Structure 1
Amino acid sequence: MTIDVLDRMDLEADRVGWDALAADARASNPYFARPVVDAHLAHRFVEARPRFACVRHGARLVAMLPIAARAGRLGWCDAPGALCSPFTTLSTPLVARDAPDGWADALVLAIRRAWRGGAFLFPMFPVRSPLGVALCDAFARTGAELAALAPFERPVLAARGSYDAYAAEALARSRRRGLARLRRRLDERGLAAHETACGGLGLRDAIDAFLRIEQSGWKGRMGTALAEHAVTRAFARDLFLSAEGPVASRADVLLLDGAPVAVSLALVSAGTAFLLKTAYDETHRSLAPGVLLEDAIVRALHADRFCERLDSATLPGSVLETLYPDRMAIADLAVNLRPGDPLFPARVAAERWQRGARARVKRAALQPS
């Protein structure tokens, strides 16, 4: 195997190889696929000149990690690391399903060539996945120190044999009865329907409905809805409408008398659907349209097999924790590429203290007065 460090223009010469790698990755990650990286670059949500640590087996690209000079804070200053933005929820490198043994050591060497020393971050890294363990072991063989920050268990769902098999395993009887009761109440309000769109005018309309519904809710009141700002509104449309090749877009819409009351937008890549954005009409809050839409997506997974796995793409506290029985261990992984650097443990300790302090303030703010 050979390694190289390329810029975006250099990698354009092998866009076919990049697309093939993303389409058949052993661990899905649409955020590092060409269309999604380019959407981020076009709207300046990542730095203008990322570098790409590449591993080849012969002429074929078998592993790749895009790298940014600033991937997040570690203690008192920024640190480089895997390319990320406010809209990415995973930093798993792209690794071919049939990559030969030694890919992890080669990728670590390529990362070290791209960034020669100091702290390096993998935001939202699957630390206990087979790929995550292999990469951590490869770093450890170089003497690098590793530290997992803010670990949590993300809900995911691997398709079962049927929806009934899933429900029997994952949902308590009270939960199944509650979902049935919500569906009856929704039906009593009007004609309910679940529709999907994967392109064309249907997808465009679903994206516009999502932006409208999100802006009408609490995110709009907080000023954090995507439609609140021209740049995030344009990025959202481009992200989902320009998906191609190894990444497909999917919109799931719950309708009541023909009007959208909940919308979920996802990116589908290498057999996994990443449920990036969901919004529901708060005027129908008592009907829990968001929960009903999530249940409809699970039903569609088992009926249509549009993918093999659902990734909630969430932070802790998601409602999907009550619907998805499987878990993926996620943490921000900090790696010291300069073994023995005394600043690394101090920065890790400072970062943990700062995150703990922010969490305590947030909990205090949520306490009833």
Structure 2
Amino acid sequence: MGLPGRPAARKAAPELPCDERLGREWRRLEEHATLPSQTLAFHTALARTMMGSRIVEIATAREMEDVVAILPLCRRRGWWRRWHAAGARQVYEPVDALCRSAQDAALLARVLARLSRPLRLDRVPAESPLVAALVAAMKGRGLIVTRPAQPSPTITFAPGETDPEQRFNAGRRSDFRRARRRAEALGDVLFEMHAPPPETFDDLFEQAVAVEQRGWKGEAGTALGTDAAKASFFRDFLFRASQEGHCRIALMRIGGSAVAMQLGVEFQRRYWLFKIGFDQNFARCSPGNLLMLHAMADTAARGLLGVELLGEVESWIIETWTQDAIDCLRVQTYPFNLRGLATFLAECAIWAWHRLPFRGTAG
């Protein structure tokens, strides 16, 4: 039996509402992308695996006959349901409109401002031109609220940097060396950074998922091995990335057995990490840290600009790897109509209720 998310055969599934022409224009625009979550591969995989009964629409802006900006949206069925940027709530990664320029973002913002339902963009990079464009477009059409959202941790290499280990202090470098000696005491240590072709993708993907399952995420029930929908998404997305040469699967082995893993893509000269994990049976030799150090050295040696850790800023990231992060915003719009007003008032009531001083006290 295969792991959760592995289809017996790649068969027909719900598709993104994207015809061949829009697909060509989308791929053409990808040279302007700043996030892997803006790609056609990402959203095709998302539609096939995690959207369920959600309604999916692709908001586009055109200049003459050409598509110049794209933002996939989704919502649940029902009168109250708002639009969301597709992907942010499903895999909780930063999302943004795909566009060539601030002028094209303004064209798309006018399209979004005409939506009859509220819109929520959960993790938009604060520097996205869409944010300012949407604020301007909503004037006279509705309310817009922007709030800080979870930033996205990032590591940027200095020009000419080839040995990332030197960015750490002497104590941290000593920790890495000690962990490496402990690993070598258990068996031969091998690091692998694969750019798998489609023919070898499934085997490497399953090895990586099996490693994650043997870690704390497996015990917590958040590993891909226990989340069939998310496993299906990452299998589909990364398989598509492997067809384009962008997929990366990193493994650390001790005595031939995989003990740490990374699932990611190489995109716009950066290494984007979607999933990491390690086998808790080898925790004493810190295989996750050793693999991260190897991945940083590999990407720096090949001239990449840095590593995007994605996810959230957590204490272990700040303490060990980086304090730098890309600021993100949550952007919410409320059109001047009955649905927009009702949603805004309902959310104000919820906000006020959670701040009542007596809420949760004994009666």
TM-score class, shorter? 0.7 to 0.9
Matches of 1:8 and 1:141, distance apart in 2? 31
**Are positions 1:92 and 2:96 aligned together?**
yes
Deviations 1:120-164 (A, max 9, x none): 11122212x243554454346556543345633321122322446
Matches of 1:282 and 1:194, distance apart in 2? 18
Counterpart residue type for residue 297 of structure 2: R
| Residue of structure 1 in register with 2:294 after alignment | 296
Matches of 2:284 and 2:137, distance apart in 1? 50
Deviations 1:299-349 (A, max 9, x none): 1111013x4332211123153333134211124322233399475266157
Q: Report the secondary structure of 1:264's partner residue.
A: strand
Residue 110 of structure 1 and its aligned partner are, at CA, apart by 1.4
Q: Report the secondary structure of 2:153's partner residue.
A: strand
Residue 175 of structure 1 and its aligned partner are, at CA, apart by 2.2
- Determine if contact 2:144/2:332 at 8 Å carries over to the other structure: yes
Matches of 1:92 and 1:51, distance apart in 2? 15
| Residue of structure 1 in register with 2:3 after alignment | none
CA separation of 1:14 and 1:219: change in aligned 2, threshold 3 A:
same
**Are positions 1:186 and 2:183 aligned together?**
yes
Matches of 1:10 and 1:86, distance apart in 2? 20
Deviates more, 1:295-304 or 1:235-244: 235-244
Residue 165 of structure 1 and its aligned partner are, at CA, apart by 7.1
Equivalent residue runs for 1:307-346 within 5 Å:
307-317=304-314, 319-321=316-318, 322-338=320-336, 341=341, 344=344
Deviates more, 1:318-327 or 1:129-138: 129-138
- Determine if contact 1:52/1:65 at 8 Å carries over to the other structure: yes
Q: Which runs of 5+ in 2 are unaligned?
A: 1-14
- Determine if contact 1:162/1:303 at 8 Å carries over to the other structure: no
Counterpart residue type for residue 344 of structure 2: F
| Residue of structure 1 in register with 2:285 after alignment | 287
Aligned residues between the structures: 337
- Determine if contact 2:153/2:308 at 8 Å carries over to the other structure: yes
| Residue of structure 2 in register with 1:59 after alignment | 65
| Residue of structure 2 in register with 1:215 after alignment | 213
- Determine if contact 1:192/1:254 at 8 Å carries over to the other structure: yes
| Residue of structure 2 in register with 1:350 after alignment | 350
CA separation of 1:268 and 1:150: change in aligned 2, threshold 3 A:
same
Deviations 1:280-303 (A, max 9, x none): 010011111111111111111110
- Determine if contact 2:201/2:242 at 8 Å carries over to the other structure: no
| Residue of structure 2 in register with 1:255 after alignment | 253
- Determine if contact 1:33/1:247 at 8 Å carries over to the other structure: no
**Are positions 1:82 and 2:85 aligned together?**
yes
CA separation of 1:192 and 1:165: change in aligned 2, threshold 3 A:
closer
Q: Report the secondary structure of 2:313's partner residue.
A: coil
Equivalent residue runs for 1:214-253 within 5 Å:
214-243=212-241, 248-253=246-251
Residue 255 of structure 1 and its aligned partner are, at CA, apart by 1.5
Equivalent residue runs for 1:3-152 within 5 Å:
8-22=16-30, 24-28=31-35, 30-45=36-51, 47=53, 49-70=55-76, 78-84=81-87, 85-96=89-100, 99=101, 101-113=102-114, 115-117=115-117, 119-127=118-126, 129-131=127-129, 133-139=131-137, 141=139, 144-149=142-147, 151-152=149-150
Residue 82 of structure 1 and its aligned partner are, at CA, apart by 0.8
Counterpart residue type for residue 275 of structure 2: K
- Determine if contact 1:246/1:270 at 8 Å carries over to the other structure: no
Q: CA RMSD in A?
A: 3.4
| Residue of structure 2 in register with 1:74 after alignment | none
Matches of 1:271 and 1:142, distance apart in 2? 41
Counterpart residue type for residue 91 of structure 1: V
Q: Report the secondary structure of 1:38's partner residue.
A: helix
After TM superposition, the score normalised by the length of structure 1 is 0.78
| Residue of structure 2 in register with 1:366 after alignment | none
Residue 10 of structure 1 and its aligned partner are, at CA, apart by 4.9
| Residue of structure 2 in register with 1:367 after alignment | none
Q: Which runs of 5+ in 1 are unaligned?
A: 1-6, 72-76, 361-369
Matches of 1:86 and 1:186, distance apart in 2? 36
After TM superposition, the score normalised by the length of structure 2 is 0.79
Identity of aligned residues (%): 20
